[in-house]
Structure 1
Amino acid sequence: MADHNTPSPQPDLHRNRLPSLFEVLSRRTLAPVDLFYFYIYMRDQQRSVDYLDFWLDVAQHMSMCRHYVRELRRSVMIGTPDGDKSASKRSSAMLEGLGDLNHGGPSIYPSDKEKNQDAQMSAYLRQEAQHAANTGHSPAGSTGSNNMRQTSSNDRPRPSFMSSPHVLTTSDSNSPEHTVARADIRASAEKILYTYLLPGAEREIQLPHAITHEITAGIEEQGRDDPELFDAAKDYVFQAMERDAFPGFLRAKALGNLVPPSVLMRLVIGLLSMFAAFWVAFILVFLDYGRRTRLWLILPFTIGVYALCSQQYSLDPILALLGFSEYTFMNFNRIREPFVRKLLNKRAIMVLGVTIFIDACLVVLFVFVPGKRL
């Protein structure tokens, strides 16, 4: 029997490579390449967070369906009245053959066994919905659309309202806290349709017309709410994110540790510092100040070169060596992904080397150049 307290997949701390998008969405990675950072990136830099929200909502719908079927299967196996009332012998046999249904992820990734389980689960939900439509009664476990029991998906805040990088890593999409009613599944499917897919929807995403039409017809005309209905859309969105957004996310978070506003701020600081450094340097040279006095030029030159190198590489080397990465402007979180930590440390040392070399060249040039009073 499935354990409803099964934890989410654990991060792979021995991964000696950058993670895949599937691993990020499955919460198998750590900061700064985890789901929280990816959500912030999609929201603030890619400006396409609706696609990620759609994927997460469809994944939540799949988890809700699995939880509902697991509960129904358990009630059938132990012979409760709910189990007797909910299905025929054929349905009971189908439920018993489903297994634990504890896997997750987009439909292009599961094993053949998991695909078969998901297909059987969707077939069962379609059969149940069709039976309810023929008899004119709500499916088993339904409390009605006006008296729906809340699931944990509605209890938890959406990531768009989160301010802490730790919130997304604590949820368990396979373990809703409350019993899922059949009407909850229907409401979840309709919410996805009305929020993302219908023309003029609040957060409409662009999908091929054939996919949108199939989902719309399935929900509104055929009464479907099984997760298989969303497979094509979910896979299309996954591949679009993997192709268009994820490479940029890895470049930003695995090769750098700054967000665009911080990069711009360092550019401004660097240019101002370099302007001040050159201005003071020429004044000291043409007023024939001594070399000891001109050594103070190391301060503005160091600030300017450091800021411009940080801007050029989108990497603050000191913060990286201290183990911090920025997720929003001036908000930092520790780097916990081992491979990314090593990668950023190497780049930080390289950036520091470039900074020290350029800084030393400029300081030596203006300290040892002969002075001449004009």
Structure 2
Amino acid sequence: MSEKHISNLVASNIARSGDLSGYYDALDELEKQNQNLASFTAGLDGDTRNRWPTLFEIVNGKTVAPLDFWSFYQFMRDDQRAINYLDFWIDTVQHLNLCKIYVRGLRTSLARTSHYRGAEMINEYIAQSQDDLKVNAQGADVTLPNVPQHHNRDSHASSRDSRSSSMLLDLLMRNSLLENSDPHRLSTFLRGEAAVRSSDPAVNAKIDEIKRRSMVANGSGSSAGGAPLEYSDPNVRISMINPDMVEALIDHEAQRSMDPSVNVRHGHITRRILRESSQTIMAKYFSKESERYIQFTPEIINKVHDALELNGRDDPEVFDEAREFVFKVMEYDAYPTFLIKYALRNVTDRSAFFRLFASAACAFAGFWVGYYLIFYDDGPAHLRGVVTLPFFFMAYFFFSAFYHVDPLLSAFGFTENHLSFFHPIKIEDGYCKGLLRKRALFVLLFACLVAAALSVLFGLVPGHRLSH
């Protein structure tokens, strides 16, 4: 990787493969909610045996050993020494998942509130019908037992407010305002740019009310949802809805219902957590004082800073341009080298170093035995064939170190572990396994040819006993 893009080697976020469970959980959650990604990966599953996996598949956990995400993480940390790039990718994926969970919690609360409001309106209708029956019964001098007496002007006002709330809830649900399967629509909602269209004065008044409530709750003097937009029909108004307004509506309805189970967001992801997550990412990777600082372009840094600090955004699209920058750096600088070291090789650099020593030792043994049999000429000529064994191991260790391919490991479908020499990894990628076996066959053939040539050479040299 070029010096411009290399970050200082610091302690990474992940120490072992088990620490990636949170990232994998986030990927699983995103895949469940994003059908586009699911259909994309489903279309690729059938042909992964005949091609290399893409970097997108690797970072999204769609590959197996030795090209799995944990192997790529080790490579970025230990070989490229640019783990900050991959840690940034992981953090932004988890931030996107937090945003989806937050919006899903709002949608669940809205659905439960809408269901409660529907039941409440039915009860009010039944109560009103009983009142009407009571009035008719009193006019006919008939007594009806246990008929409620508490409906007055306040109850009628409450009923109107309940109906307007129910209509607004239904409007929000029908417009799929809290759709979290589409990242763009998710970000639009979190930015407060989602809009609903209504011609009902009661609904518009309710929107204005929750807008004021959200402004009071957040201590904001500005318009929380923005001014209503003009529409060609003068009776129709387009209102901007943001998460604070939805929270205000849910909290208000929960207080009215006196049922805390209506608001199911308690103990789950809140907007404050989203803001803290986005601020943490900016402080960790965009601040020059941070040891995890990534050398983004000034344009990207300024855009992220303005979006978070000036505009108060925390939606996932804030980091989209930075994510694309990081992905391209990894794809062009790290990904090709990763394929060479982890897919086309099953011998590590450390193992290759020891194999060269073993090759030198075998070479010394082979030449010593060969020259001994030549100059002492003690036995029959076919005895010189014993040099084949040390020469074979000499060539085997040398070429396996030179090409970083071990034929024996390839035959059994294993590759050496870059972290532990004594714990080889089983190769699960079929395409990688096939290429390694082809390269292993070449290495084995080359080793046999060299061993045979040296054995024939020492076997054909006439013996000459040295005399004292």
TM-score, L = length of structure 2: 0.61
Work out which of the residue numbers 40, 45, 56 in structure 1 matches 2:90: 56
Q: 1:91 to 1:40 in 2, by over 3 A?
A: farther
Q: 1:57 to 1:141 in 2, by over 3 A?
A: farther
Q: 1:90 to 1:287 in 2, by over 3 A?
A: farther
Return the alpha-carbon distance in structure 2 between the equivalents of residues 47 and 243 of structure 1. Answer: 15
Return the alpha-carbon distance in structure 2 between the equivalents of residues 201 and 259 of structure 1. Answer: 33
- Written as runs of structure 1 = structure 2, the 5 A alignment for 1:7-156 is 12=45, 14-15=47-48, 16-79=50-113, 92=172, 96-97=176-177, 99=179, 101=181, 117-127=182-192, 135-136=218-219, 139=244
| Residue 404 of structure 2: aligned partner | 314
What percentage of aligned pairs have identical amino acids?
36
Q: 1:271 to 1:100 in 2, by over 3 A?
A: same
Q: 1:100 to 1:221 in 2, by over 3 A?
A: closer
Deviation of 1:360 (Å): 1.5
Equivalent position amino acid for 1:324 in 2: F
Which has the larger helix fraction?
2
Whether 1:341 aligns to 2:433 is yes
Whether 1:324 aligns to 2:407 is no
Return the alpha-carbon distance in structure 1 between the equivalents of residues 30 and 318 of structure 2. Answer: 27
Return the alpha-carbon distance in structure 2 between the equivalents of residues 234 and 34 of structure 1. Answer: 20
**Larger mean Cα displacement after TM superposition, 314-323 or 289-298:** 289-298
Judge conservation of contact 1:294–1:367 (CA < 8 Å) in 2: yes
Work out which of the residue numbers 449, 457, 466 in structure 2 matches 1:357: 449
TM-score, L = length of structure 1: 0.75
Q: 1:327 to 1:208 in 2, by over 3 A?
A: farther
Work out which of the residue numbers 319, 322, 332 in structure 2 matches 1:243: 332
Return the alpha-carbon distance in structure 1 between the equivalents of residues 325 and 375 of structure 2. Answer: 66
Equivalent position amino acid for 1:278 in 2: F
**Larger mean Cα displacement after TM superposition, 133-142 or 187-196:** 133-142
Judge conservation of contact 1:195–1:203 (CA < 8 Å) in 2: yes
For each residue in 1:251-283, what CA deviation from the matched residue of structure 2 results, as whole angstroms up to 9, or x when unmatched?
A: 122211122211222222223322332233223
Return the alpha-carbon distance in structure 1 between the equivalents of residues 31 and 109 of structure 2. Answer: 19
Whose radius of gyration is greater, 1 or 2?
2
Unaligned stretches of 5+ residues in structure 1: 102-116, 143-177
- Written as runs of structure 1 = structure 2, the 5 A alignment for 1:179-328 is 179-290=268-379, 291-328=381-418
Return the alpha-carbon distance in structure 2 between the equivalents of residues 203 and 297 of structure 1. Answer: 56
Q: 1:133 to 1:236 in 2, by over 3 A?
A: farther
Equivalent position amino acid for 1:338 in 2: G
Return the alpha-carbon distance in structure 2 between the equivalents of residues 357 and 75 of structure 1. Answer: 74
Say which SS state the counterpart of residue 57 (structure 1) adopts: helix
Say which SS state the counterpart of residue 294 (structure 1) adopts: helix
Q: 1:44 to 1:4 in 2, by over 3 A?
A: closer
For each residue in 1:290-342, what CA deviation from the matched residue of structure 2 results, as whole angstroms up to 9, or x when unmatched?
A: 33443222232122111111111111111111011123241321111111111
Q: 1:275 to 1:191 in 2, by over 3 A?
A: farther
Deviation of 1:89 (Å): 6.5
CA RMSD of aligned residues (A): 3.3
Unaligned stretches of 5+ residues in structure 2: 1-27, 33-37, 118-161, 194-210, 221-242, 249-266
Judge conservation of contact 2:30–2:97 (CA < 8 Å) in 1: no
Equivalent position amino acid for 1:92 in 2: L
Deviation of 1:246 (Å): 0.4
Return the alpha-carbon distance in structure 1 between the equivalents of residues 312 and 348 of structure 2. Answer: 45
Return the alpha-carbon distance in structure 1 between the equivalents of residues 374 and 289 of structure 2. Answer: 66
Judge conservation of contact 2:180–2:186 (CA < 8 Å) in 1: no
Corresponding pairs, count: 319
**Larger mean Cα displacement after TM superposition, 303-312 or 358-367:** 358-367
